[in-house]
Each structure stands twice: as structure tokens, then as C-alpha cells.
Amino acid sequence: MNPARELADRIGPVGVWLAALAEAPAVTGMAAAAEIEELGYGALWIGESPAHKEIFTHSALLLGATSHITVATGIATIWARDAAATNAAAQTLGEAHPGRFVLGLGASHAEAGRGQGHDRPLTAVRDYLDALDRTPYRGPRPTKTVPRVLAALRPRMQELARDRTSGVHSFFVPPTHTAVTRARLGPDPLLVPEQAVVVDPDPQTARAVAREHVATRLALRNYVNHVRALGFGDEDLACHGSDRLVDALVAWGDPATVAARIGEHLDAGADQVAIHPLTTQGQGLSRVLDQLRELTPALPPHKRAPDKRPLTAARPATEGPTT
């Protein structure tokens, strides 16, 4: 079987993307990872910023606290460490936890403050992949090759991911973007979009949480360019995002409504959807876990070993894409 297809089958259709883990104490985050595994989610995607936990150390903590869930970097920025350090970290984790670590890489944002140039991200990522391929590693080798994926929103980066890695991890995207990305990648590469969610049926409170998330992304130039490419204009970018933009990028409502959006991504060609529960300031990890517990019965089942508890419901019927 194609390695990317094997990986897709292993991680299943639903995962979790958690920003809140970066701010939680280690013992709390490890307990949360163990619960997410028990709920049946197939992968745990974690991010990186200069002000939070170092991503490979964090991955090691989460892998050590769990037994079978995949931990993926979503993403490790190429500006934070050279290719030799990244390769050594990935090989170390892959050898210690066979088949359970995915190396997600990307150019991140100029605003992230790493002190590096971001004017040619495509060239920088391509050069970084070249350096990874050249880097010697003399430690114990993993029994399974550590997969690489790229953060890729635009066509040329997606083509690089298709040609040089196992696939694409996309962020801040509606199902229509997933459909276009799948068409560009073809059938084999892995495709895992992040989907921000607010499990709350009240439009006023749900949109307030969603708009706060959208506003933070609209402060970053690459996301502004990205949503313009999706067909949103100045009126959608004003006042921290129009309702149309917020509703396209954040799924909110009761569990069945949110699950329907997950289904739209899957129907559009995603292999897995990384669910990103949003919270208001101060709610933190407890509210994240509450939302995942509410969502679990409504989500597609994940293939598991017979002794593992599966997600309980079939994929819901879905409507067409939002935008």
C-alpha cells in the first residue's frame, strides 16, 4: 500500500488540533491527550510558537502519556531549528514510538518573530527538505519511516507537498478549499485540514468565540491573502470578519451541525479532519475537552483494534459546502 494511504488508514477520519495544550501544565496536557485517545480520535496535532512549549519536547510528553494515538506537529516551523536538529528529533521520536509520529513542517508567518526572512517561503521550504534529505543520522533508526507533511494553502506549496512529502496539513480552510486541494494533490497524498469549531447552538455566543479566532488570523498577512483567494472581499475582512467569513471558517452549533461540517471536508476529499475546539479567554482545556466529549457520538467511526473503544455513530448526512 502507498505509505500515505497506509497513514490515512491508520489515523482515521477524525483527529484533534489543540492550541490549548501549549499553555497547559505538562501533567494536565498529558491527561488530556490520554482522554482524547480514549475518546477514539486518531491523531493529535499540536502547534508551535516562540512563546510556548518546544514542539518536539512537547510531542515526546504526549507520546509517552498515550499508547496508540498519532502525535503530529502542526506545524514545526523551519525557522526554529536547522534541518539536522529537526531530523534528529523526528528520528528519535519515530524510533521510540514506531508509526505514531508525523512531522509537519512549514514556513509559519513573518509575524511569528523568529527573526528570519519570509519573503520566499516556497524556496525556503524546498531548501529545507533538501537539507533534511542530506542530513546524516547515526542513531537507532525507526522501524517505520517518519512521514512528513507540509503546511500548504496555496497551489505551489501544495504541489511541493505532493511531490516531496506524504501530503498536506491545511489550516483556516472551508470544505471548498479541501475539494480544490484534493484535486490538485490527486488521490494518493494525505490531506488533513484543521476545522475550528464551537459546540454551542447560540448564534451570538458561538459567533463571538469564533470571531475572536478569525480576528487573530486576519492579523497575519498570509491568512488575509488566503481568504481573499477564497473569494472574500474587503467587506468580509472588516470588523474582525463578517458573519459570512466567520461561518465559513468556524463550524458552530449543536454537535450534529458541527459534525456535518466535518463530513463536508471528508466528502470533499480529506483523509482526516483535525477538529480545533475554540474557547473564550480563561476557559482553557476543560472547555475544549467538554466540546470533544459532546461531539464524539456524532462523528464518523475510527477504525480501531478490537479492544479499543470506537467512536459510536456513522457519518451524518451533509449539505453542500458553505462557500
For 130-188, write each residue's pLDDT tens digit. 999 999 999 999 999 999 999 999 999 999 999 999 999 999 999 999 999 999 999 99
Rounded-to-integer distance, Cα 238 and Cα 211, Å: 11
User: In terms of pLDDT, which residue wins out, 218 or 321?
Assistant: 218
Within a domain: residue 82? yes
Mean pLDDT value of segment 39-51: 95
Within a domain: residue 323? no
Within a domain: residue 304? no
Residue 172 dihedral angles phi and psi, to the nearest 5°: 70, 50
Within a domain: residue 314? no
Rounded-to-integer distance, Cα 263 and Cα 315, Å: 7
Rounded-to-integer distance, Cα 276 and Cα 45, Å: 9
Question: 265: pLDDT confidence band, cut at 50, 70 and 90?
Answer: very high
Whether 245 and 237 have beta carbons less than 8 Å apart is answered as yes
Rounded-to-integer distance, Cα 5 and Cα 2, Å: 5
User: Could you give the count of Cα atoms lying within 13 Å of 185 in the half-sphere of its Cβ?
Assistant: 34
Within a domain: residue 99? yes
Within a domain: residue 321? no
| Residues, the chain | 323
User: What is the number of structural domains in the chain?
Assistant: 1
Within a domain: residue 107? yes
For 198-207, write each residue's pLDDT tens digit. 999 999 999 9
Whether 251 and 258 have beta carbons less than 8 Å apart is answered as yes
Confidence (pTM): 0.92
Residue 107 has pLDDT above 80, yes or no: yes
The H or E element containing residue 128 is helix 121-134
Tell me how crowded residue 95 is: count the other CB atoms within 10 A of its CB: 17
CA atoms 223, 228, 234, 237: torsion sign: negative
Query: Which domain range does residue 58 map to?
Result: 3-298
Amino acid (one-letter) located at 133: D
The CATH number linked to 7 is 3.20.20.30
Within a domain: residue 308? no
Rounded-to-integer distance, Cα 139 and Cα 162, Å: 28
- Which pLDDT does position 173 carry in this prediction? 98
The 3-state DSSP class for residue 114 equals coil
Mean pLDDT value of segment 88-100: 98
Identify the weakest region by mean pLDDT among 113-117, 132-136, 223-227, 305-309.
305-309
